[in-house]
Amino acid sequence: MNPLETAKKIKSMEIRGALEIALAAVESLRDYTKGYRGSTFIRDLEKQASLLKKSRPTAVSLPNAVDYVLYLAKHHDRQELPELIDKFMKEQREALFKLSKIGAKRIEDGDIILTHCNSTAVLETIREAAKTKRIHVICTETRPRNQGYLTASYLAKHKIPVTLILDSAVRSAIEHFGVKKILIGADTVAANGAVANKIGTSQIASIAHEFNIPFMVATETIKFSPQTFLGNLIEIEEREHTEIRPKMRGVTMWNPAFDFTPPEYIDIIITEDGIISPHMAYTILKEKFGWELK
C-alpha cells in the first residue's frame, strides 16, 4: 500500500493501535522505496514521511518509526533500504514477543486483570500467561470507538475467560470481581515516565491507586518519546464529536482520544528490555534513541 492510502487508513482508524500504525507506515515507505523511479529520493521520501506522521498525533511509535526510516535512508544506499526496513519491522515483532514473555511472569495463577482499550502488547502478554495460568480478564467497552469489543473477542477466541463492562463500571468491577492487577498498553511514554494511552486510562489508574492495585503498562520501547526528552509536549488527539453522538442542539462536545497517567500511579513498565519503573524512562531514551537525540 502507498503512503497516502496508509495515512488515510490510519486517520480513519481502519489501521489502529500504536504498534500497528507504526508498522503499516514503515511498510508503506518500503513499498514506496521499491517502486521509486525519480531522482530526488530523500526529498520525496521526506514528503511521504511527513504525510504519514501527520495522520495521528499522539502515538509516538509512528514518528519514531518513520524518522528511523529517514535516518536509514540518509545513511545507506537506496537499494539497501527495503531490506533494512524489513529488519526493523521484524525487530518490532520480536520486541512484542519478548515483552509478552517478560510480562507473563508478572501474572499469577488465579489473577483477575482489568484492561482498557485494545492493545496487542497487553493481549500477547495475557495470552502468554494463560498458557500456564488461570486468568480472568475484565475489559472495558472503551467508548466511543468500542475497541474493548476487539479485546473481548480476541480473548474469547483464545478461550481466555473475559467479562465486558461499561467504562463507567470500573470502580464497581474492581470491588465486585476482586481485580488483582491492571494491565494497559501505551501510545507514548514520556521522559518523566508519564504514559499516554486511550482516554479513560488515567481514571482507572487513580482508582487502582486508591485500591492499592498494581498498575502495569506493557509497551515496546519504540513508544518512548525522544521529543519529550528535548522538552516538547505530547499532543493529545481530539477527534470528531460525531464519534460521541450526532449533533445535539445547544450542546458542544469534546472528544479527546487519549490521556496521561502520571508516573506516580504506574508501578511497572514492561518492555522488551525488561521491567522498569517509570522513572527509568529517561535512561531507556538515552540508550535507545541516541540516533534521534543527536
| Site residues, ligand RUB (CB under 6 A) | 16-19, 59, 117, 119-121, 147, 185-187, 197-198, 257
Q: How many CB atoms lie within 10 A of CB 7?
A: 24
Helix (H, G, I), strand (E, B) or coil at 67: helix
Shorter beta-carbon distance to ligand RUB: residue 17 or 278: 17
**Shortest distance, CB of residue 246 to ligand RUB, whole angstroms?**
21
CB of 142 to ligand RUB, least distance (A): 8
Least distance (Å) from ligand RUB to the CB of residue 288?
17
For strands 162-165 and 136-140, give the pairing: parallel
The CA radius of gyration of the chain, in Å to the nearest whole number, is 19
C-beta neighbour count of 219 within 10 angstroms: 29
Q: How many of the other CB atoms lie within 10 Å of CB of 70?
A: 16
Residue 41 or 149 with smaller CB distance to ligand RUB: 149
Contacts with 33 (C-beta within 8 Å, 6 or more apart), sequence order = 41, 45, 73, 78, 81, 82, 85
Give least dist CB 45 to ligand RUB, A: 25
Q: Which three cell numbers stand for residue 235?
A: 499532543
Q: Which residues make Cβ contacts (< 8 Å) with residue 270, sequence separation at least 6?
A: 99, 102, 103, 106, 121, 125, 216, 217, 218, 219
Nearest residue to ligand RUB, scored by beta-carbon proximity:
185
Catalytic residue numbers? 117, 187
Nearer to ligand RUB (CB atom), residue 28 or residue 147: 147
Distances (CA, A) of 271 to 80, 101, 200: 29, 10, 22
Q: Which is nearer to ligand RUB, 49 or 59 (CB)?
A: 59
CB of 174 to ligand RUB, least distance (A): 19
Q: Which is nearer to ligand RUB, 48 or 201 (CB)?
A: 201
